[in-house]
Structure 1
Amino acid sequence: MGIFSRFRDIIHSNINAMLDKAEEPEKLIRLMIQEMEETLVELKADCARTMAQAAKIAREHGALAERAGRWGQKAELAVDKGREDLAREALLEKRDIEARADVVAGELAAVEGLVAACRDDIATLEDKLVSAKERQRTLLARHLRATGKKRMREDVSRVDSADALRRFEEFENRIERMEAEAELAGTATSRRPAQGDSLDARFDRLAADDDVERELARIKAKRVG
């Protein structure tokens, strides 16, 4: 079903008001323009047919006027020749033809009125179509601006997220390096001899070493025996 049910609906419609109330104005204006263009094609075709009809009626009216003129000339000729009887018959024929011409003239006036109205309708519809296309361009520009702003916000959001992720990864790497450095420092310290041991402690270690040596000698002797 079209947006407009008749041509007059388009002529009397308030396009801006309809678009302002529409949930999808871009889609609605596209359908409006499509229907306007189709209606304009039909209207021009109807107008062309009406103009052709007017031309045909005009030719018929011209032919009747010419015939009526010829019968008038015949009536004059009959009078000149003293044939009043023939003059009367010619005038009667002329009157009948003029009566038919009057009817055709009325038809021609009516059809020409339709042609004029049709031309006005075409001009009005073309103005509506121009207005609708202008509104479509405005809506398209607004849509593109809105889409651009949305894309820009999304890009900024992505950049912010990526930057935050990068900073987090750098922080995490720094922590891991610090942990590794601490672990290496602990290992090196455990391997160095203690410099601050007391003299008693050093003698105790010597005694412990002797105990180890005696235990080792006992094991070796047992193995040999």
Structure 2
Amino acid sequence: MASNSSRMRTIFRTKTSKALDKIEDPRDLLDDSYDQQVKLLQQVRQALAEVATAKKRIDLQGQELGQRYQRLGAQAKEALDQGREDLARAALERRSLIERQVAQLQSQYAGMQKQTSQLEERERRLSEQIAAFRIEKETIKATYTASEAQVRANEAVAGIGATIDDVGTSLDRARDRVAQMQARAEATDELLNSGALRDLTAPPDADIERQLAAMSAQAEIDRQIRELKGETPDAASGRPRSGGDDAGEWLSIGQGPNPT
């Protein structure tokens, strides 16, 4: 009963780990982060457009008040020329009211001008940040994909299961995941090259064939040593092993002793 319970826990942990790996794929996390930054940039641009629209309305109102201001000034002068001081005074009173209104519009326009400059600077910096993040995001995604493929290939050859650590939800965690994947790929390469892991793609009885080949090579070396010491008929007679001319002697290199 205890054994079955332990097996169930192991299966559950394995499935949970695979599900988390699928959910916390750093490539998806990076794409989500990039999309959030793009949405923020769109909001800044929308705010910039709204401020620009409001500033334009104030500008139009200011132009209209400016025209009335000039017209009232001309009317006040014309009224005085015609001896109507009362009309001139009324025109100047209205002109004074317009001055106060224009002063308020000027203050609002200056504030919106400052706000526009701030939003434009924020939009510029955010655009540069997003462009840099996009390049780094694609680089990390490509590196992760290549490393993941390499690990899967190495694990398939070695016959070992793949285990991947949890992935974070930020750019730093994605970088750590890529580093872990690259280190694992290098480790499996080293294990395969050193022979610590058996290559399941090798033909059967390959180890025996390697040993026989090594013994054959050692026997050939022993024969050549005896020949150099004069322990063979060819060395004693001082004749070359091959009966051909000097130009063809290279053809016999590595072919063993001449049977004749």
Which TM-score tier does this pair reach, normalised by the shorter chain?
A: 0.5 to 0.7
Shift of 1:130: 0.7
- How far apart in 2 are the matches of 1:76 and 1:43? 49
Aligned partner of 2:34 in structure 1 is 33
Is the alpha carbon distance of 1:156 and 1:24 closer, same or farther for their aligned partners in structure 2, counting shifts above 3 Å? closer
Matched residue of 1:162: which SS? coil
Equivalent positions of 1:27-176 (< 5 A) are 27-154=28-155, 157=158, 160-165=199-204, 167=206
**Partner letter of residue 91 of structure 2?**
A
- How far apart in 1 are the matches of 2:129 and 2:113? 24
- Identity level (%): 22
TM-score if structure 1 supplies the norm length?
Answer: 0.58
Q: Check the 8 A contact 2:157/2:201 in 1, yes or no.
A: no
Aligned partner of 1:12 in structure 2 is none
How many residue pairs are counted as aligned between the two chains? Answer: 149
Matched residue of 1:123: which SS? helix
Shift of 1:46: 1.9
Equivalent positions of 1:174-185 (< 5 A) are none
Q: From the two aligned structures, give the one with the greater helix fraction.
A: 1
- How far apart in 1 are the matches of 2:205 and 2:68? 101
Which one has a bigger Cα radius of gyration? 1
Matched residue of 2:199: which SS? helix
Equivalent positions of 1:168-207 (< 5 A) are none
Q: Check the 8 A contact 1:33/1:129 in 2, yes or no.
A: yes
Shift of 1:47: 1.7
Is the alpha carbon distance of 1:100 and 1:156 closer, same or farther for their aligned partners in structure 2, counting shifts above 3 Å? same
Shift of 1:54: 0.9
1:89-148 Cα deviation digits (max 9, x unpaired): 211111111111111111111122222211221111111111111110120122133124
Q: Which runs of 5+ in 2 are unaligned?
A: 1-23, 160-197, 210-260
Shift of 1:24: 6.6
TM-score if structure 2 supplies the norm length?
Answer: 0.51
Query: RMSD over aligned Cα, in angstroms?
Result: 2.8
- How far apart in 1 are the matches of 2:64 and 2:156? 79
1:167-200 Cα deviation digits (max 9, x unpaired): 3899xxxxxxxxxxxxxxxxxxxxxxxxxxxxxx
Q: Which runs of 5+ in 1 are unaligned?
A: 1-22, 171-225
- How far apart in 2 are the matches of 1:48 and 1:144? 40
**Partner letter of residue 66 of structure 1?**
Q
Q: Check the 8 A contact 2:51/2:112 in 1, yes or no.
A: yes
Aligned partner of 2:246 in structure 1 is none
Matched residue of 1:34: which SS? helix
Matched residue of 1:82: which SS? coil
- How far apart in 2 are the matches of 1:27 and 1:123? 26
